[in-house]
Each structure stands twice: as C-alpha cells, then as structure tokens.
Amino acid sequence: MKNAHDIIKAPVLTEKAYDGIADKIYVFYVDVNAGKAEIKSAVEEIFGVQVAKVNVVNVKGKFRRQGMTAGYTSRKKKAYVILKKDSKGIEFFESMVQ
C-alpha cells in the first residue's frame, strides 16, 4: 500500500472546485493508479474527515506542439471527494473561500 501523501498529489483550485466547497465537495489530483478505496482512506488519514463518496475522472493529456516536435502532456486523474454531512470541513479549503 502506498503512502497517503503519494496518492493525493494536489488540490484543484478552480472556480468549479470552489463552488463545491459549500456542499462539502472537494477536488484533488490523485495518482493515476489509485482506486476509490485508496483515495478515500488517504483523505481520511491526511485531513481527519469522514468521506461519504468518491468519484474519479481520468483526464487525457492535451496535444501540444512546439515547432516540428509534437506530443501529449501527461494524463491526470481527478477525485471528487464528498464528505458526510456531520463531518467537519477541510480547513485548507475553508480558509481560501472566506
């Protein structure tokens, strides 16, 4: 089993992600090989919250070109983590909204 900090890569800081914070929906970039159960346990371990549900989205790499060289950026995986209603919020996100 991987370390929890290896599974959760970074928070997603977009307008759509900020809109979900009021409903206790948080978005993270996660390891592309991580499953929902691993993501759930990692978030619970790192932030000390109770997770109700995890949804994942695989994001394909974008096609980029520089001169005659062409290729794709690396693929990513996003996890939408929904907390239980009686769980406390994640302080990192709560401080950014206010």
**Residue 94 in this model has a pLDDT that exceeds 80:** no
pLDDT of 88 reads 87
| Mode of pairing for the β-strands spanning 76-83 and 51-59 | antiparallel
Residue 11 has a pLDDT of: 94
At the fourth CATH level, which superfamily is domain 4-97? RRM (RNA recognition motif) domain (3.30.70.330)
pLDDT digit string, tens, across residues 41-60: 999 999 999 999 999 999 99
What's the pTM value of the predicted model, to 2 decimals?
A: 0.88
Average pLDDT, the chain: 92
Domain boundaries, the chain: 4-97
Q: Which range, of 54-58, 65-69, 76-80, 87-91, averages the lowest pLDDT?
A: 87-91
Beta bridge partners of 29: 10, 78
